[in-house]
Amino acid sequence: MARSKSTARAEARRRYRAALSEAEATGEEASDRTTDRQDPATAGLRPPGGLRSLFSFKRPDWRGDIDAFPELLRTQRSLWVAIGAIVFGTVACIGLTRTPGQIALAGIILQLLLYVPSIPLLLAGYFAPRAAWLEGLVLGTLSLIGILAVNYLGGTTPPTLTVVGAVGLVIQWPIFGAVFGALAAWYRSWLRKSNDSARKSREERDRRKRQEAKAKGQARPQTR
């Protein structure tokens, strides 16, 4: 009696191992078929995401971005929201530089909406389908105009920006705006690749769990 039970358990373990091996082989064959259907140019590459995508760099299409900018200006809502935020910040700061409390509030608005890097630059660059660097360049220039207007037209406060400082801003801010816009677009791309990689990993784990559950069900001894 004990020998028959031991034999039954050994047979159940053998069936379980055989079913598990069969399930894994089936999954590998399906994976191989999927790999065969991939583009030969992308076959063998690792899934996007992680540190590899963190340091990936794609050279921008300068001419194509410039040609596409008028269309982006007509269709991209986030770009117009960013422009409106900069204009609002400029007008508000010009009108809020008459009392100490208003000057403090104007300083907060300047930090958030006009000083590069700013929220409008992040918004436009993050949602830009392309030419994020060019949008950053334009918004950086617009922010520069706003800063100069606030400095020289802002209420009764005397201008605090020297000629040398103004020249430095003219040179630096458009460049900083372009760099920050490109970084915002890169961050969005990295997030998308990381999310895709995490989703594929979850799908692979779920597939393996289903295979193991199926193998256990097939290996379970039938009761008479």
Q: What is the mean pLDDT of the chain?
A: 78
Per the CB < 8 A criterion, the answer to whether 127 and 82 are in contact is no
More confidently predicted of 130 and 221:
130
Per the CB < 8 A criterion, the answer to whether 185 and 125 are in contact is yes
Which of 118-127, 143-152, 193-202 bottoms out in mean pLDDT, i.e. has the lowest? 193-202
More confidently predicted of 24 and 93:
93
Q: What is the pLDDT of residue 183?
A: 93
Tell whether the model's pLDDT for residue 42 goes beyond 70: no
Which of 20-24, 60-64, 73-77, 129-133 bottoms out in mean pLDDT, i.e. has the lowest? 20-24
CA 186 vs. chain centroid, Å, equals 6
pLDDT confidence bin for 40, thresholds 50/70/90: very low
Domain boundaries, the chain: 70-196
- Alpha-carbon gap, residue 36 to 47, rounded angstroms: 16
Q: What is the pLDDT of residue 165?
A: 77
Tell whether the model's pLDDT for residue 146 goes beyond 50: yes
Around Cβ 162, how many Cβ atoms within 10 Å?
Answer: 9
Rounded mean pLDDT, 87-108: 86
Tell whether the model's pLDDT for residue 4 goes beyond 90: no
Per the CB < 8 A criterion, the answer to whether 124 and 82 are in contact is yes
Q: What is the dihedral of CA 115, 116, 117, 123, to 10 degrees?
A: 90
pLDDT confidence bin for 6, thresholds 50/70/90: low
Longest pairwise C-alpha distance within the chain: 104
Per the CB < 8 A criterion, the answer to whether 75 and 131 are in contact is no
- Look at phi and psi of residue 140 and say left if phi exceeds 0, alpha if psi is from -120 to 50, else beta: alpha
Q: What is the pLDDT of residue 207?
A: 84
Model pTM greater than 0.75?
A: no
Which of 36-45, 93-102, 113-122 bottoms out in mean pLDDT, i.e. has the lowest? 36-45
Tell whether the model's pLDDT for residue 85 goes beyond 50: yes
Give the C-alpha distances (Å, rounded to integers) separating 44 from 19, 35, 38, 90, 131: 29, 8, 9, 52, 30
Per the CB < 8 A criterion, the answer to whether 173 and 112 are in contact is no
- Alpha-carbon gap, residue 209 to 134, rounded angstroms: 47
